[in-house]
Amino acid sequence: MPNPPEYAQVGGVWDRLSTKKEQMRDGLYKLLAIMPYDIITLSTWNRLIPQWMQSICDLMEDDDFSEFKILFSKIFEPDLRPLPFNDEQLYQFITDHLITGDERSISNALDWIYALSLMEISIPFPILLDAFSKCASRISQMELKRNNENGLEEEHISLHVSMIDIISQQISLNDQLHHEVNLISELIFSTCAIILQKPFAHCKHNCDNPELDEFLDCSACQQSVFVYQTVAKIMERLSPKEQLCISVNNDEPAIDWKTQITNVSPKQSPVDKSNSSM
């Protein structure tokens, strides 16, 4: 456990003055050590790993995640993990929160995926995109917190931003894009379309607060722009350039007007010939 009871704080880092980061690293090493012995069942995993992920997200800065990269790679990477779970079971603790959780659970699950992305852990796209599609459909019908100043649902917008940002990060990490680019691209575009179809806010938004500098100080506008810019970059990255070559059959030869004018200019025009004969 990331926060063991006092009677369990014995030996190792607990016998000396240690930081919370060192304590968590020591706990993860112990967790990894018992994984090959089939002690951790699926139900235990779904209760245990969310506590570890939430503790890491709450206590660690973005720069600290790299120190846990090797440990989490040994836990989540298919070629290294000792757990007897398939991909769906391994990430069930995330998909369950996204599909059936409330607003707070969804936000926590997105934080966990973001942390895994910072540690360069690639999540299978079919699992991730299916969960995001269902999650986007749910949050459009949920009663979310509204902003007291202008009535906007800041948390609702942040969920869209997180999902789009995570998709962009996972594209850079997922190796199967090189082998199944057509199938994965279709899934990515369809999921992004579902997310964009869902309203970011249930109310009409105008930047008319006199205390704000309109767009520059409006978090909702900036987050919306970030979403669409990220989707545009995803499309540019996945859509090959010059994929189609449009050919046109020429019914008649093209006319080079410059050449014709050059050939005619030295010669006397018909009008000039008629004038000279008179």
pLDDT tens readout for residues 161-219:
889 999 999 888 875 555 666 678 888 888 888 888 876 655 556 666 656 555 566 77
Let me know if residue 86 belongs to a domain.
yes
Q: Which of 39, 67, 90 is the last residue of a domain?
A: 90
Collect all residues with Cβ–Cβ distance below 8 Å to 110 and sequence separation of at least 6.
98, 159, 162, 163, 166
For residues 148 and 225, state if they share a domain. yes
Question: 152 and 200 in one domain?
Answer: yes
Helices (H), 154-218: 154-173, 181-197
The answer to whether residue 234 sits within a structural domain is: yes
94: closest CA among 156, 22, 202, 170?
170
- Give dist(CA 124, CA 127) in Å, integer: 6
In this structure, the chain runs to a length of: 278
Establish if 211 belongs to a structural domain. yes
Specify whether 77 is located in the same domain as 183: no
**Residue 177 counted as domain residue:** yes
Encode the chain (278 residues) as per-residue pLDDT tens digits: 767 767 667 777 776 777 778 888 888 888 888 888 888 899 999 999 999 899 888 887 777 777 788 888 888 988 888 888 899 999 999 999 999 988 889 999 999 999 999 888 989 888 999 999 898 888 877 765 654 444 444 444 578 888 999 999 988 887 555 566 667 888 888 888 888 887 665 555 666 665 655 556 677 777 788 888 888 888 888 876 655 555 656 665 655 655 655 665 454 444 454 444 44
- Count of the separate structural domains present in the chain: 2
Per-residue exposure over 247-276, b if at least 16 CB sit within 10 Å of its own CB, e if not: eeeeeeeeeeeeeeeeeeeeeeeeeeeeee
Q: Do residues 143 and 237 both lie within one domain?
A: yes
180 found inside a domain: yes
Same domain flag for 162 and 231: yes
Name the residue range of residue 186's domain.
124-241
In this structure, is residue 236 part of a structural domain? yes
Q: For the whole model, what pTM was predicted?
A: 0.75
Q: Which residues of 93-110 are buried (b: 16+ CB within 10 A; e: fewer)?
A: bbbebbbebebeebebbb
Best CA proximity match to 185, nearest among 117, 118, 125? 125
Closest CA to 28 of 92, 72, 65: 72
Distances (CA, A) of 237 to 6, 29, 153, 185, 186: 51, 38, 30, 10, 13
Asked if residue 276 belongs to a domain, the reply is no
Cα dihedral across residues 163, 113, 130, 172: positive or negative? positive
Residues 129 and 86 in one domain: no
The token duo for 276 is 């000279």
Structural domain contains residue 108: no
Tell me the one-letter amino acid at 53.
Answer: M
Same domain, 130 and 24: no
